[in-house]
């Protein structure tokens, strides 16, 4: 994970009922959500403002059932919420 970016984390939840949690750091809880999809949506909603505030990209990391982490990319510094389609070369993965 690059140190030049801000990090959001969504740890895996064993329960289908959640909670799925979005964290900015180990001690900074951004909120609990009922599903992984809701947690991802919340992280995506927070990321543009966080990116603008910090002036650097935001990476969203999602923990898988096996304990590994995968990156859920779609936000980079300068991308404004509601600005439409990201420029070429910026991917959004579900």
Query: pLDDT tens-digit profile of 15-44?
Result: 877 899 999 977 789 899 999 999 999 999
- pLDDT of 58: 86
pLDDT tens, position by position, 36-89: 999 999 999 998 888 889 898 888 999 999 999 999 866 444 453 333 444 444
Which two three-digit tokens encode residue 46?
């927070």
H helices, E strands: number in the chain: 1, 5
50, 59 in Cβ contact below 8 A? no
- pLDDT of 83: 39
- Across 4-13, average pLDDT: 90
């Amino acid at each position: 994970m690059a140190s030049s970016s801000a990090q959001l984390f969504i740890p895996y939840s064993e329960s289908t009922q959640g909670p799925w949690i979005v964290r900015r750091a180990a001690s900074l809880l951004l909120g609990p959500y009922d599903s992984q999809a809701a947690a991802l949506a919340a992280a995506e909603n927070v990321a543009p403002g966080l990116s603008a505030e910090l002036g650097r990209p935001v990476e969203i990391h999602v923990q898988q059932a096996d304990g590994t982490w995968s990156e859920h990319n779609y936000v980079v510094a300068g991308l404004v919420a509601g600005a439409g389609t990201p420029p070429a070369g910026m991917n959004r993965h579900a």
